[in-house]
């Protein structure tokens, strides 16, 4: 796999993981606080 | 049953308790993610990315996600929760209620009727063929498990043609699909839709994870240079020369369709939220789950698996990849029967969790407009989808062809173009006409607050600009492709099938006009006095 392809894949995956972790994490923490 | 009552000066009293709500946050997020994750995630994205520049495609793709997809998704969540507060689950009254804040009541009435008619046309007609495709996935799961096409002497292309021309396979699996939709929707939000999402969504991720591991450990069974890693390289290597207006529009279009925007079904699900439930963070969470399924799972399964067995030539079959190219792969690979069945079941679950949202939209429409209870409404919608789906089934069976021109003509409008039109109407009502109340509404109860600058710059201007550009260029593309001609270019080669194109147009126009009249009448019945006041 070329380094540019790997870079594009990892950055894209990283961005999605970041968005998912941030949003789902916030929901979990805030839901607990609400309870 | 919901009852709507009017207060003094025609303003509606807020309904506080009669509408069913989601049972849990997890159920809501899974149902919304299921709503968004559909067949397109698994067969459309990998093909679009590979065709439009590979890694370079991801730049316009993420730009469209951040500046158009997520903002519009938040608008739809907010619009839905706002409508639900007044006892509405369909988009016509929602658009009306927001538009009347900044426009003349009569204009709001027209906007609401237009939006409501578009949404009704989309959920009736799009689902009329989407249910068939889900039926095909279920049929292929069965055939893969029982060895239907596993004999290597069978041509998978001809096999698929035989499948759609066989009334038994087509009707059995289509009616099973409709029966599941009917049964689940009768159960209501918590015991029906939410329960389905809690089973189907984890199944999708588990099946995809199994397929992903299998894909990455395939080695090079056909040719040394055809490996899954080379397939990933083909998908992700940036090809800058392929990045142009056309690929940028393809990226924006993909974001629109993958998030199920411009259909009214996100609003419908959001209408079952409580008035102070979070919107912004939940919308981003569902978008992320959708992107995870699309970019990470589908991207790592579909292209590498097809590349390993068929090379780059095998990727050219586009959406035929699922039913023609991949069956070729499954009968070649070790354990192909098991993995093929998992693949088609994954597609089935992805499809049915989206289709149920359209089914529920119509059930909700009957509930709120005609005071029909949920069970009776579900029976009626089941019959409606049987009638609406008949031409899709009958065209290949009666004509012994496989071009599916009735489906193609419908898909050109309700499966793509009209979604963008409805998306624009939503922005006009929820942002431009609802003004700063829109920001207050979105931030109410939300864990993440949208900053005023983001609302004023991105949501007010950049998102609509994205949608308008998409609409203008889509129109130009439709003209160039001859879709607007009396006999569209794609039908010219099949003169015997032209009546099916005309039939699709007649059905589309009739459904739209009928929907407009129904929504307009329903709106004037409740809000007619207000509209009259503003003359």
ipTM: 0.96
Of B233, B238, B295, the CB nearest to A16: B295
- Taking only the tens place, the pLDDT of each residue in B469-480 is 999 999 999 999
Say yes or no: B282 contacts chain A, CB-CB below 8 A. yes
Q: Please, what's the b/e burial string for B20-52 (b: 16 or more CB within 10 A of its CB; e: otherwise)?
A: bebeebbbbbbbbbbbbbbbbbbbbbbbbbbeb
Which residues in chain A have their CB less than 8 angstroms from residue B284's CB? 19, 22-23
- Interval B357-382 mean pLDDT: 96
| Beta-carbon count within 10 A of B102 CB | 17
Is residue B6 classed as helix, strand or coil in its secondary structure?
A: strand
Kindly state the greatest CA–CA separation across chain B: 77
Q: What one-character-per-residue DSSP string does B333-356 give?
A: STTHHHHHHHHHHHHHHHHHHHHH
**B289 contact residues in A (CB cutoff 8 A):** 20
* Closest partner CB to A16 (pick from B235, B238, B296): B296
Cα distances (Å, whole numbers) of residue B334 to B13, B80, B218, B299, B312: 63, 47, 9, 22, 21
CA distance B289 to chain A (A): 7
Instruction: Among B25, B56, B288, select the one facing A20 at the smallest CB separation.
Output: B288
Tell me, yes or no, if A3 comes closer than 8 A to chain B by beta carbon: no
Asked if B205 has any chain A CB less than 8 Å from its own CB, the reply is no
Q: What is the pLDDT of residue B25?
A: 92
Please tell me which residue of chain A has the smallest CA distance to B234: A5
pLDDT of residue A34: 72
Q: What percent of chain B has pLDDT over 90?
A: 77
Q: How many A-B residue pairs are in contact by the CB < 8 A criterion?
A: 77
User: A33 in contact with B at a CB cutoff of 8 Å?
Assistant: no
pLDDT at position B306: 86
Residue B85: both structure tokens together: 């507060």
pLDDT > 50? residue B10:
no
Note whether B17 and B203 are within 8 A (CB).
no
CB contact at 8 A, B46 and B302: yes
User: From the CB of residue B110, how many other CB atoms can be counted at a distance below 10 Å?
Assistant: 18
Overall average pLDDT of the B499-525 stretch: 96
The answer, yes or no, to whether residue B426 has pLDDT greater than 70, is yes
- The Cα–Cα gap between B497 and B259 comes to 33
Q: Give the tens place of pLDDT for each residue, B163-187.
A: 999 999 999 999 999 999 999 999 9
Three-class secondary structure of residue A5 per DSSP: helix
Per the CB < 8 Å rule, is A27 touching B29?
yes
Predicted pLDDT at B530: 67
Q: What is the mean pLDDT of residues B384-398?
A: 98
Selecting from B25, B238, B292 the residue whose C-beta is nearest the C-beta of A27 gives: B25
pLDDT digits (tens, 9 = 90+) for B403-419: 999 999 999 999 989 99
- Angstroms from B429 CA to nearest CA on chain A: 27
- What pLDDT does B324 receive? 85
Q: B63, B265 in Cβ contact below 8 A?
A: no
Give the span between the Cα atoms of B430 and B321, in whole angstroms: 39
């Amino acid at each position: 796999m070329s380094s540019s392809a790997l870079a594009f894949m990892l950055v894209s995956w990283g961005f999605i993981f970041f968005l998912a972790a941030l949003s789902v994490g916030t929901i979990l923490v805030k839901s607990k606080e609400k309870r | 049953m919901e009852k709507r009552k009017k207060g003094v000066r025609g303003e509606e009293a807020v309904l506080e308790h009669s509408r069913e709500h989601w049972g849990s946050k997890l159920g809501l997020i899974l149902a919304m993610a299921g709503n968004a994750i559909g067949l397109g995630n698994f067969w459309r994205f990998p093909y679009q990315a590979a065709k439009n520049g590979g890694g370079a495609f991801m730049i316009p793709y993420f730009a469209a996600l951040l500046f158009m997809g997520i903002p519009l998704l938040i608008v739809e969540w907010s619009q839905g929760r706002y409508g639900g507060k007044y006892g509405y689950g369909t988009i016509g009254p929602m658009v009306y209620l927001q538009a009347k804040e900044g426009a003349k009541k009569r204009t709001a009435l027209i906007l609401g009727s237009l939006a409501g008619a578009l949404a009704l046309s989309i959920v009736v007609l799009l689902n009329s063929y989407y249910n068939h495709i889900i039926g095909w996935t279920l049929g292929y799961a069965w055939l893969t498990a029982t060895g239907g096409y596993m004999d290597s002497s069978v041509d998978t292309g001809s096999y698929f043609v035989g499948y759609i021309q066989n009334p038994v396979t087509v009707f059995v699996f289509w009616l099973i699909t409709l029966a599941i939709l009917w049964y689940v929707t009768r159960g209501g939000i918590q015991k029906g839709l939410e329960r389905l999402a809690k089973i189907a969504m984890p199944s999708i991720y588990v099946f995809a994870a199994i397929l992903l591991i299998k894909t990455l450990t395939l080695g090079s069974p056909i040719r040394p240079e055809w490996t899954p890693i080379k397939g990933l390289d083909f998908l992700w290597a940036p090809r800058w020369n392929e990045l142009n207006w056309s690929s940028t529009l393809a990226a924006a279009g993909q974001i629109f369709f993958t998030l199920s925007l411009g259909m009214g079904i996100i609003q419908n699900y959001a209408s079952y939220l409580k008035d102070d439930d979070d919107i912004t963070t939940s919308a981003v969470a569902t978008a992320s789950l959708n992107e995870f399924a699309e970019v990470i799972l589908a991207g790592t399964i579909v292209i590498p698996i097809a590349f390993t067995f068929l090379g780059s030539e095998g990727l050219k079959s586009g959406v035929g990849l699922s039913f023609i190219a991949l069956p070729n792969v499954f009968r070649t690979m070790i354990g192909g029967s098991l993995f093929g069945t998992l693949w088609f079941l994954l597609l089935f679950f992805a499809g049915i969790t989206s289709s149920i949202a359209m089914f529920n939209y119509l059930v909700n429409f009957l509930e709120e407009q005609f005071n029909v209870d949920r069970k009776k409404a579900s029976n009626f919608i089941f019959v409606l989808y049987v009638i609406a789906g008949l031409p899709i089934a009958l065209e290949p069976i009666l004509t012994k062809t496989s071009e599916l021109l009735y489906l193609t003509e419908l898909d050109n409008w309700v499966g793509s173009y009209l979604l963008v039109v409805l998306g624009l109407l939503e922005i006009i009502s929820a942002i431009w006409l609802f003004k700063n109340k829109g920001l207050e509404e979105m931030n109410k109860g939300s864990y993440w607050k949208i900053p005023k600058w983001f609302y004023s710059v991105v949501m007010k201007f950049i998102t609509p600009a994205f949608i308008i550009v998409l609409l203008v260029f889509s129109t130009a593309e439709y003209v160039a492709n001859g879709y607007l001609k009396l006999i569209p270019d794609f039908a010219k080669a099949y003169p015997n099938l032209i009546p099916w194109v005309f039939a699709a147009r007649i059905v589309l126009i009739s459904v739209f006009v009928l929907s407009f009249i129904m929504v307009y009448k329903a709106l004037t019945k409740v809000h007619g006095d207000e509209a009259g006041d503003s003359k």
